[in-house]
Structure 1
Amino acid sequence: MAQPPVAKVLVVGSVNGHLAEFFAKVKKLDAKHGPFSVLLVTGNLFADRSLEGEDEEIGSLLRDEIAVPVMTYAIVGDRGLPRRVSERAARRSGEICSNLAILPGQGVLQTSEGVRIAYISGRYGSQSTAAPQAAQDVGGSGDGVEGAGAGSAPANGSEAEAAPADGSGVEDVATTDLSGEPGDTSSDVVPSCFDGLAISDLLAQVASENEKAFQKTQAQPSIDILLTFDWPYGVVPTPFSGGPAASQPATQFASNKVSLVCAAAMPRYHFAAGEGIFYERQPWRYGNRVAVGRGPAAAPHYTRFVGLGSANESKHGKQRWFYAMNVQPLHNASSGTAAPGSVPEGCTANPLFRFGKLGKALDTRILPKILAGVDGNGDDSDDDGRHPSAGGQGRRRAAPPPLSYVCHSCNQPGHWISDCPTKDQQKRRRTDNAAPPPPDYVCRGCSKPGHWRSDCPDDGDGGARAQPTDALAKCWFCLANPDVDQNLMAAIGDEAYVAMAKGALVVGGAASSGFEGFASPIPGGGHVLVVPIVHTDSLRRTREGASEEDRGLGTEIDRWTAAITALFAEYDCVPLAFETSRCLPHVHTALQMVPIPKAKAGAVRPTLEELCAAEGLAVERGYPAAPRDGYFVVGDPDADDSLFVHIPRHAKGFNLELGRRLAATILGVPAREHWRQCVVAEAEEARERDRFIAAFAKHDFAR
């Protein structure tokens, strides 16, 4: 049995400028201890604006005159980003130069080896005082490598909270939650902080990743690495820290909010740079219910916390500023195999005692309970410290769900399932089968009102065009929806239209340069969607010749794909065309087309087989036998054939980004896998659309 991939990861604390010198050090580390798969910066990458020569060095970095030897992802510390860097990151989905991307805001990043990295930038600040983010969201065993450097001076803080005590009477250190006051008032710098909504968004993403991991491997949690700037409140000092008490750090800016994030995410590693000093705490384990793998080989889960010094500019003296490790992704835990191994010796109890009541990995069922404390004290009490059962106004309500969330009880957005207004009606139905559904209930099977999901009369038929309903009036792709994004429209035919992809995987570059990372030679980038005009949940029937209407749609889609293929060929590219269909009537299907260099056409099949093997899936020759089973299909440009991956009915763990992941892997840009991290401003979308329309005009048969 093949061993799962192991990623060699290098993590550093604050860099604080001197970028040429820093990346030269990284090059030496990479030669000596690498090669590293990825470099992570968990502090301030850039210097204070008063540093002499900083402007010139930033210019050199943006012009690619400073070599970045390893693919690098940097969160934003408390200082924020220089304005030029912020604007470049916003325009280029986080990328500021070759091999270097900024991770403002919060999110979950996955590397090509499957390492999941959760991150949240800045210091905590309440919503009323939070400064704007620096840019738009862009959207194993541990083996420490000795290194020397200098720590960074922490920024000035605000009021300190009183330190609570745990059950053993050991008092925790004082914590400081900054309220977002900028440490640099230069007009060229945007301060960085996060608030309760950012925490809620990150934990919702973590819960989603945990559920996907569980569906695939029965293993949770899924987060390998957590990056924050502030330390979590509670990690020091403890009786388990090792070494004399005098050698243990006294944290100045530890944060309850970071403790909550760490306790809920349960990462295998947690790195923070806010104190500017090095400290590696003994790992702590979670309860017996939290394990990696399944069956007799399941291993209890644990977390290592590492605080890192700064590469230079330290008032703390010489501090270790980097940490290297081999990471076997938790995501690859499979039946009978626990990754990355047994719990190390010396594991302690969970020091985040205020949040230690969480007895299992975070998922969407318990997410509302965790989010209820985000803007309170961070535990199960209200703002006044009282437990809900002791009287008062009761538990603080959870943050509202994201716009994409749809209640699985009533099929309506706007509330969590635990707050569903039809909950009592459906509960009564379990004892009275004659009770009809409420007027606003829409069956998830056929998208029609008037009956419960279990009584759906259309439950056996699938793959057809869904009938329009009120629920479909909000469909992103239906032209009948007045809110459809016209900004992305590139061409419209009789049966289908062509639109630019939201959060495109590739962007337009210089045609003479060919492909450079995710810079495509095709004007506008060329990542497009071919979408049926009538709401359609699957293109399968257009291929199997069901009705004249379906065959007509299939014929026009073929004409659009041929026209787009002809455009790509002018730039020595071929299309990677794929469709993901779960045969759900409320989901409008689309054929995505991403250009790849013609020289890489032969990589499509082996890359897909490798990705599928890692997920326990197989590449098939045709559609699934059951008409209601979903599928992923991609054209093999090297063999003029189609490759299929079957999605069994009711499957919840399938990666709906498989097509993007395939393209990102072939192009070597794993950070572009998720479309939300690639979204740009509408003005930039319009410019890319216009460039594509101009180049595509001679192939557009509908003009």
Structure 2
Amino acid sequence: MTDKQKTLLCGDVNGNFLTLFSRVESIVKKSGPFDVLLCVGNFFGDDNSQLDAYKMGYRKVPVTTYVFGPSKSEHCQYYCEEGAEIVPNVVYMGKRGIFTTSADVKIAYLSGMSRRELGKDLPMCTFEPSDCSSIRDSCFRSQSEYRGVDLLITTLWPSGIQEDENQKIDVEQDILSDLVAWLAMHIKPRYHVVPSPNKFYERQPYRNLSIHQDYREGPTRFLGLAPVGNKNKEKWIYACSLQPVSKMRMTDILQATTDETTCPFDPELLKQHQPGKVVKFSGNGQYFYNMDAQDDDHGKRKRKGGDNPEKKRREFDPDSCWFCLSSPTVEKHLVICVGTHCYLALPKGPLTPDHVLILPITHHQSLTRAPDDVAAEIKKFKDALRKLYTSLGKLVVFFERNYKTSHMQIQCVPVPKGCDAQILEVFQDEAGIHSVQIEVLPPYSDIKQVTLPGAPYFHAELPSGEQIFAKTKQHFPLQFGRDVLSTPDILNCEDKADWRQCLLSRDQEDQYVADFRQKFRPFDFTAEDGSDSD
């Protein structure tokens, strides 16, 4: 396909330039031209005389080649300025950064060893925590949604990657890094490629973790490439065609594979916004832990709640909930108004500027588990929102997904008046696509009468008064409600079906909240006591 970048990657070159470029030339003759060659390990070696033929023009580099590094202090002298050519068609990219190719493939890279291990007088071939933070921030900058990067290239291996139950891999401790594991967990590369000291290693894809309980991330494929021309004939060059993640459908990015494994890294690393609190050192990496956590005799974090980890998982921590209003993690700038038992807030990645959420102030999993006073105030919010949307010449669809969520969220989405007759049909069509069995309930039905408290479900209230109910099972589409409402027949914004594709900046969120608060003011029963939600 024309929208894919044909890419070659190789391990440590170690000065074996003739072996490398001769092999690349034969691959090009057999398979056609490639766009780039990425040298993920040491480019230079003890003897670099083979490069003279390319400097003098007697030989030509067949594919545009990108070099990273250095990773050894004795190689620093051979590198030129970042962005310049070492020889024609071989570009030095520096020790860390992120760049996007002409085909829109995004590549992040971090070369060298940890400065903690080698000392502070060798800055060119070392890296530190701030380098990891800088790369992470560059990946996220100026993006309304973050999908990950296409490639991550590092000299060191991420700690934990060697823990592979499907195959045994012996990795020296001095090439394992917790800093690299932190970086990989945060930027979520589709491919993570490293140089391997001796053997080729291809790990089964692992599924990345998310800080959001109901948010699915894409997988990462990890490769360790052997040195160029190694005597054991281990694989040292790898070819692939990369479709840029920026041009892929979310369903393709998130697609599972039959050989997929769980994420091998310490989940605690994902909670560290900055890799700054170093409490334990291992090899070339750092461990990051909650500084308030107690240590046992071996320096490991103790679990609260005794020795039974299952019991700990079942306990609810209100401080970790994204929607409990008393939680330190709640984004209070999104709150529009607060009632006695519930509050109104702007969702992340709204379908329209007037798309809002009704949420309970304290922790309730679903409407079926909410006390009567909470349910009664939810009804008052719905009635007030219907009046608001009517004044704006719109109808409203309410829906709730009690599946892979911990805190009840009722989505309130205004829709054009002209589409009311098609909404049920579109829900049914979408259900058929996903093999979801939906039931149409008559108006004024009570959801508590058709399902058990705590049982997973999807429920929607349509402008006609009809209600849609589905008992959710494994693999239920998490964006089912948004998929329906974003279709051309309703809101015509299919690019917003996934909330991650339409995230707003903080300034935009503040503006949306202020605008909706102003529109809602005439219908806001929470201000009847004279209080002002501003």
Task: Provide the TM-score with structure 1 as the length reference.
Answer: 0.39
Kindly name which structure, 1 or 2, has the bigger radius of gyration based on alpha carbons.
Answer: 2
Task: Provide the TM-score with structure 2 as the length reference.
Answer: 0.50
